[in-house]
Amino acid sequence: MTQTRPRADDLLIRPAHPDEAVALAAIEDAAAAQFARIGMDLGAAASDPAAIAARAAEGAVLAASLGGRLTGFAIVTVVDGNAHLAELDVAPDVQRRGIGRRLIEAVTDRARAAGRHRLTLTTFRDVPWNGPWYRRLGFTELAPAAQGPALRQIRQDEARRIDPLGPRIAMARPL
């Protein structure tokens, strides 16, 4: 019997349920493990299923499923009046199939519908599937002077916890 891979058009993006938090955290951990291939150990930034469940209960998490299997998610908050992509993860075995891009499109649609005018995020500047990937999606780097106070605070917190692994930046794209 021939097994077929689910097609990208089988992708469903919908609000996540709090009871999916453990599965979503496993996706986050698997995606974070990809950084080890380039010498970056994100172990200290491990996922928190309780935090994901709380965000899902607030309606801040979009889940992606492909062929009925959870394959990725995005967490969106509001920072300085802008939609802010706090997390985006795709399971490693289905990466490079447009799931991340489709999650960004869904986040953008929801943010526009909520009256937001900009989508912000923070990411590693040079990691190919971070800064360069977001640039291809129309995001540009924000200088500190162009960041609102809450986004600057997020970057300051990251500078202590995550920046030793590699330079991080804030980015934005108009909606």
Model pLDDT, residue 47: 82
Evaluate whether 62 touches 56 at the Cβ level (below 8 Å). Answer: no
Give the predicted TM-score (pTM) of the model: 0.90
CA nearest to 99, candidates 33, 31, 163, 51: 31
Mean pLDDT, 10 residues at a time, over the chain (175 residues)? 52 97 95 86 75 97 95 98 97 94 97 97 93 97 96 91 78 97
CA angle centred on 173, ends 156 and 35, rounded to 5°: 55
Helix (H) or strand (E) holding 130: none
Structure-token pair, residue 9? 């058009």
